[in-house]
Amino acid sequence: MLKYVLLGPLLRLMFRPRIEGLEHIPEHGAAIVAGNHLSFSDHFLMPAIIKRRITFLAKAEYFTGPGIKGRLTAAFFRSAGQIPVDRSGKEAGQAAIREGLGVLRKGELLGIYPEGTRSHDGRLYKGKVGVAAMALKAQVPVIPCAMIGTFEAQPPGKVVPRFRRVTIRFGEPLEFSRYAGMDGEKAVLRAVTDELMYAILGLSGQEYVDKYAAVVKAEEAEARAVAGRKFPRMPLS
């Protein structure tokens, strides 16, 4: 109800989204919608413009914040069709796949960000193979999606987004029936994921980086730490 009464109208007012390719979203049946991830606003924009319910896998931290703010955030995410997934530990990836397959078995839409985290600089990063594993196991199509302009509207660290127009672009569904029964092959999972990321790239026009976003973030953080040790800030006199 919140999606139709409050969330949808508010987001349309703030971002005036230009929507392209919405006809590629099936009216019935299970499918995966896989997109780039540029902004915190992405969590709500895509679900708000798709008429069907779409369930996203979101990090569990969004549901466990303290105090009134934490409870409101958790309620907001649940109202937007998000379910918590613990991303820590060795079993995190398998847990996410189990949750995603549960959604698909019910004939519903599953939303996922193959990069695994928000882009910190607006570029598109290497996709993780979990989306491929789910697509092959459930034998469902994957609809690529590109969010355009959300990074500029709400870059990392900005709490209140800017009022500016964004574009949400859906591509033709990708089907991978030729790989049926091969969901345990690492090379196949990588090939499927790379094909999907190439489709997203074609829709978004981003610069592509063939490394995982989390790895690049860690490398840049380490570089800043090293630079800080070499050139410490002098105290103001």
Instruction: Quote the pLDDT of residue 142.
Output: 98
Percent of the chain with pLDDT over 90: 51
* Class of the CATH domain delimited by 7-211: alpha beta
| 225 vs 188, more confident | 188
Burial class (CB in 10 A: 0-12, 13-18, 19+), 8: middle
Q: Are 127 and 114 in contact (CB under 8 A)?
A: yes
The contacts of residue 66 (CB under 8 Å, 6+ apart) are none
Percent of the chain with pLDDT over 70: 80
Average pLDDT over residues 215-232: 85
Domain regions of the chain by residue span: 7-211
